Amino acid sequence: MLFGILLLALACNRVWTWYRLRHIPGPFWVSFSKYWQIKTQMKGDWYLDLKEVGDQYGKLFRIGPNQVMTTDVEVIRRMSHFKSPYTRGPFYQVFRYLPNQDHSFSLLDDAEHTRRRTILGPGYAGGPHLENCIDRQCSRLIDLIERKFVSTPTEYRPFDMTLNMILFTIDCIGDMSFGGDFGYLDEGEDTYRFIKWNEDFFYAAIVISNYHWLIKIASKPILNWVYPTVQSKHGIGKFIGLAIRAVETRLAATDKTRKDALSLFIDHGVSKQDAINELLVQLVAGADPVATAIRMTMLFLTSNPKSYDKLVAEIDDAIAHGKVSSPIKDSEARQLPYLQAVIKEGIRTFPVVTAPLFKKVPKGGDVIDGHFVPEGTEVGHNVLGIMRSTEHWGDDVEIFRPERWIEADEKTYDMMSSVLEIHWGSGRFRCLGRNVAGIQLNKMFVELLRRYDFSVAKPQASLKIVNSGFFLMSELDFRVTKRENLEN
Ligand code: HEM
């Protein structure tokens, strides 16, 4: 009898769930459970499947019992606006690394999030220290390439673009915030197995991000042993220990001359615990997207010889005319139009953060693209759909063509730039590491291409990509040779 009542209640709940959003276009079966979302994420095709469903059903489409996606840039801007009543969905809390403790990305409390962003902002803003950190790590990457990866006519020494780029970005975060790099670029190894942890955690993260209540259960004192511990020698646990040590050392230091992100956090009143959590989110949110952007842009460049040659010619010409220092300054890179076009086009063609970033519809509901969306519904960003929409980019949207940025008139250029910026989020949720990423990208291509020639080692064995909102990539070896007649 009880079982029958439970079954009936469940059936009523399913029908009601379907009914609430029945008018929003989308595949029928996705309305009843999160099966479709989990299946496509586990398969690793999330970003592609989302785009396909979006192409079929329009700018607002349903992907789950309470989840819809938007491909409308204006809607994302509106939801993220400083005065918007939208809030973050529970999705964000999955990214807590310590039980019941938040960083900027996991905070759901709006007022606290705004307060935290204000005091964190100066640490992320950039400035000479940040640029010095990135220069140091570029130089360590070059040193690693010189020692281990330069091929000659008699010897092939594969350069794994997937691994080495994330080693670079991880060491950048170390230098920028932890008081020094982590030694990842010393020998080109995942010393503390952070990348391995990320891969191992990938499938568990899919389940947790779809069933957020697991976070609440896991945060209870009796169960919070499932969280990583500072005693761990590897993975995120090791980095929690490193973050605690970095913050404690800095708080105790009498010499206050090192003005890196961490000291700027402390100077602006970020508490010890909040600083520890912020260091961790930098690592998880900051290392992978930049590494993915560099490796994919290098892949697009080497697959498009005209673009590759044009970029190298621009760099060589700027060096010959004394417009570029060694290492290149961020301000100098901003003056190289083709470089800027390549960076923009790389990210446009292959957006590197495709997580849904669900926002919650406020009290009273909202009307999106002509559909009423009831209160509490989660609205996500269909980033690939935006970056591959013919409305913004024209008919050759699938193609990597930096020239589209050069050819565009001023109005179109501004429109394209502002659509592209959506990739960093918008308004009060906008990426705090936007400047950091910009400087890394501005420097990396010049520092690599002024010294070396790159070719994909095995074009027939294509890069392996798994995506659940975040990427896992493997098997992208390049042959790197020294450029001839080099005067750089
Ligand atoms: C190509 C590189 C990057 C891309 C495309 C990117 C994109 C994003 C996006 C889409 C968000 C969330 C927006 C939302 O919730 O609506 C975000 C948030 C964030 N990102 Fe990035 N990011 C990049 C690099 C970085 C780097 C290098 C760092 C750190 C050094 C960083 C730190 C953060 C932080 C702390 C947040 C949370 C901000 C907040 O909610 O207040 N990101 N990023």
Give me the pLDDT at residue 204, please.
Answer: 85
Distance 282 CA to ligand 1 centre (A): 8
Distance 430 CA to ligand 1 centre (A): 7
Say how far apart CA 186 and CA 183 lie, in whole Å: 5
* Mean local confidence (pLDDT), 367-376: 97
Say how far apart CA 413 and CA 398 lie, in whole Å: 18
* Mean local confidence (pLDDT), 343-361: 97
Say how far apart CA 117 and CA 163 lie, in whole Å: 31
Please tell me whether residue 387 adopts helix, strand or coil conformation.
helix
Q: What's the pLDDT tens digit per position in 152-171?
A: 999 999 999 999 999 999 99
242 close to ligand 1 (CB < 6 Angstrom) = no
Cα 475 to chain center, whole Å? 20
For residue 486, pLDDT beyond 70: no
String of b and e for 265-286 (b: at least 16 CB within 10 Å)?
A: bbeeebeeebbbbbbbbbbbbb
**The token pair that represents 139 in the structure block:** 């130089």
Say how far apart CA 360 and CA 378 lie, in whole Å: 5
Percentage of the chain modeled with pLDDT above 90: 81
Residue owning tokens 């020094």: 180
Q: What are phi and psi of 269, to 5 degrees?
A: 95, 15
Beta bridge partners of 152: 155
Q: What's the pLDDT tens digit per position in 175-224?
A: 999 999 999 999 999 999 999 988 888 888 888 888 888 877 777 766 66
Separation in Å, CA 152 to CA 163, 447, 475, 485: 21, 20, 21, 15
For residue 87, pLDDT beyond 90: yes
Q: What are phi and psi of 255, to 5 degrees?
A: -80, 115
CATH architecture assignment, domain 2-482: Orthogonal Bundle (1.10)
Strand-strand pairing, 359-360 and 378-381: antiparallel
H/E run at residue 112: helix 110-124
Say how far apart CA 431 and CA 381 lie, in whole Å: 14
For residue 151, pLDDT beyond 90: yes
H/E run at residue 480: strand 477-482
Angle between helices 35-43 and 194-210 (to 10 degrees): 160
For residue 488, pLDDT beyond 80: no
Mean pLDDT of the chain: 94
Cα 271 to chain center, whole Å? 26
Question: Cα angle vertex 213, ends 208, 214, to 5°?
Answer: 50
- The candidate with the shortest Cα–Cα distance to 186, out of 148, 240, 135, is 148
DSSP H helices in 145-283: 161-173, 184-187, 194-210, 213-218, 235-252, 261-267, 272-281
Query: Taking the model in full, what pTM does it have?
Result: 0.95
Distance 381 CA to ligand 1 centre (A): 14
Contact call for residues 119 and 269 (beta carbons, < 8 A): yes
Say how far apart CA 328 and CA 309 lie, in whole Å: 19
Distance 323 CA to ligand 1 centre (A): 31
Q: Please choose from 431, 441, 470 the residue to mutate so as to test ligand 1's pocket, defined by most ligand atoms within 8 A of CB.
A: 431
More confident residue, 486 or 109: 109
386 close to ligand 1 (CB < 6 Angstrom) = no
Q: Whose C-alpha lies nearest to ligand 1, atom 31?
A: 433
Give me the pLDDT at residue 201, please.
Answer: 85
Query: Confidence band (pLDDT; 50, 70, 90) for 229?
Result: confident
For residue 3, pLDDT beyond 60: yes
Can you list the positions of beta strands (E) in 80-222?
87-88, 159-160
Peptide bond into 122 cis (omega under 30): no
Give me the pLDDT at residue 218, please.
Answer: 74
Q: What's the pLDDT tens digit per position in 324-340?
A: 999 999 999 999 999 99
What ligand 1 atom has the least distance to the C-alpha of 282? 29
Give me the pLDDT at residue 225, please.
Answer: 65
Say how far apart CA 470 and CA 335 lie, in whole Å: 31
Give me the pLDDT at residue 152, please.
Answer: 97
Beta bridge partners of 455: 479
Give me the pLDDT at residue 255, please.
Answer: 82
- The candidate with the shortest Cα–Cα distance to 311, out of 349, 348, 345, 288, is 345
Cα 407 to chain center, whole Å? 28
Say how far apart CA 197 and CA 119 lie, in whole Å: 30
Q: Where are the domains of the chain?
A: 2-482
Say how far apart CA 417 and CA 405 lie, in whole Å: 9
105 close to ligand 1 (CB < 6 Angstrom) = yes
Q: Which of 83-92, 232-241, 458-467 has the highest mean pLDDT?
A: 83-92
Distance 215 CA to ligand 1 centre (A): 22
DSSP 226: G
Give me the pLDDT at residue 202, please.
Answer: 86
286 close to ligand 1 (CB < 6 Angstrom) = yes
Q: What's the pLDDT tens digit per position in 119-146?
A: 999 999 978 899 999 999 999 999 999 9
Contacts of 84 (CB under 8 A, 6+ apart): 78, 362, 427, 428
63 close to ligand 1 (CB < 6 Angstrom) = no
Please report, as a single letter, which amino acid is at residue 309. D
Say how far apart CA 296 and CA 289 lie, in whole Å: 10
Q: Within 13 A of 347's CA, how many CA atoms are on the CB side?
A: 23
431 close to ligand 1 (CB < 6 Angstrom) = yes
**The token pair that represents 316 in the structure block:** 């060589």
Query: Confidence band (pLDDT; 50, 70, 90) for 4?
Result: confident
Say how far apart CA 193 and CA 325 lie, in whole Å: 35
What ligand 1 atom has the least distance to the C-alpha of 76? 16
Give me the pLDDT at residue 487, please.
Answer: 56
Give me the pLDDT at residue 118, please.
Answer: 97
424 close to ligand 1 (CB < 6 Angstrom) = yes
